[in-house]
Structure 1
Amino acid sequence: MEAQDGTQQQHIALAHKLFLLTHPDVDDIEKVRLRDEVLDAVKTRDMASLYESLAVASVLEMDTAVLDRMRKRIEDELKTLDDKIADAEENLGESEVREAHLAKSLFFIRIGDKEKALEQLKTTEEKTVAAGQKMDLVFYTLQLGFFYMDFDLISKSIDKAKNLFEGGGDWERKNRLKVYEGLYCMSTRNFKKAASLFLDSISTFTTDEIFSYDTFIFYTVLTSIISLDRVSLKQKVMDAPEILTVIGKIPHLSEFLNSLYGCHFKSFFSAFSGLTEQIKLDRYLQPHFRFYVRKLAQ
């Protein structure tokens, strides 16, 4: 996959901080720290539109001087990017033209301009021939979708990716797509399919731009527990070397899994109580907390 310079990973981290800033269970002292980190990220990436919307929502305080400086930098950088596109179209080859358009796409992603980013990604796709590079553009779109929790955009992008793979496609990108689709399924309460996709990706995980491997294992275990039968849970989760290597790092998760399988319900409920905060403070899982509890009780 093409180099991203950490752009999307930073955006996903920012989205999580924004989620926590509005969460009622996060204490005021933590929110002060989060607010400073969000402001620093917004200013560093010149996310002028997001800054304005957060100020309107009283999440951040409006500083017109800061906003004006961001807008000026955006204007200057856009001019530079457009000049590079014009130069590439006049003097260079098709590859350089595509790279110049891609740079503009990534700029709009960086500053948080969703509509212009999607429009520019489409323009870049029109300049793209290689299937792998087209797939990478879909990944950028998927990351945008998860930043904004735009499930319609995510669903359409997953379908588009699958269509691209019908004409071929490399093993690494296909495995990456499984994780993205698994996250989409988990976020839309299809835990059974999410578990299946996550389990298929345990030994091939390379999708750390959206979450860490530890978080991936956390999601895999949580979705598997309410989706698999007892035999499958033992074979695919409890005895999986990849899970065994990581599960001890995640507080309460090993006890949660083992006590459920062993029918030690006192330990099970104690462990789940410890996991409750992690689930409630997760932007993908929090909307489904009550549903998850009901599934556990069945």
Structure 2
Amino acid sequence: MAHTHDNLSPAEGIWSMRSLPDMDAAQFHQWQTLLEHRTGITLSSDRRSFLETNIGIRMREIGCGSYQAYYEKIVSGPDAVVEWATLVDRLTVQETRFFRDPDAFRLVSDYVLTRPREQLRKRALEAWSVGCSTGEEPYTLAMVLNECMNQLAMQPLFGVTGSDISKPAIDKAGKGQFSARKLLGIDEGLKDRYFRPAERNTVEIVKSIRDRVCFTRLNVLDLDTAPMHGMNIIFCQNLLIYFRRWRRREIVKRLAERLAPGGLLVLGQGELTDWQPPGLQRVPSEHVLAWIKRQADEE
């Protein structure tokens, strides 16, 4: 949560208008190491100005005068946990939108429509959006699954979980309210079915879809303790790009463990190269990077 400058002394108020000194190599390395250790996210040296800008904005908000003082505040200050959560939110929340990768959502739709009907009747479909930011992706997944169920003339037996490291992002996602501009480019029929006007030029997701989506705070470094199991669909796009190659493989292995046999894992194009995750079968597609988990008898 951003603080205002109202409680700053006049000297701090003047200081907050001044620009900060550049972050030197040692300071950048210190922040790089902390971020990777706690979140797994790697910042290459060409991202130094991104880090400087975001840390600098936060330092001005709380009237902190040096990178070192702010680092100590985050590592061992009395409100270190809260401050760290605020900073991580600034550094990780990415711009996202509904139906961001149409090819990937078409693949999900084809996957559901070709499942044996008996299977769909017997057990609810479980989908998981990893690194869901402010919720557009899990809500899109819910809309896609709902459209499939309608097409199959079946009861909407499905649930979607969205997880993210950022608590403010998760809180916003849970409200299901978005600025109207987020709907640009969405099919008119989908808009009519799934969105309602809300206050101050915002729209909200209809309750029937909101009720099928839940959100939880989760660091992907802690996947081994995640409560998600037997998922039919796992969607993890535009998240792995922030991690080192060995860490990406580790994350994908953990996600594969969370899939039900025959389950679908969808990643972002180019996020995993030259590696075949064990126990998964690549989906033949030019436009989408996806795998199906082999059934036990195929192993």
TM range (shorter): under 0.3
Higher relative strand content:
2
TM-score (norm 1): 0.27
TM-score (norm 2): 0.27
Higher relative helix content:
1
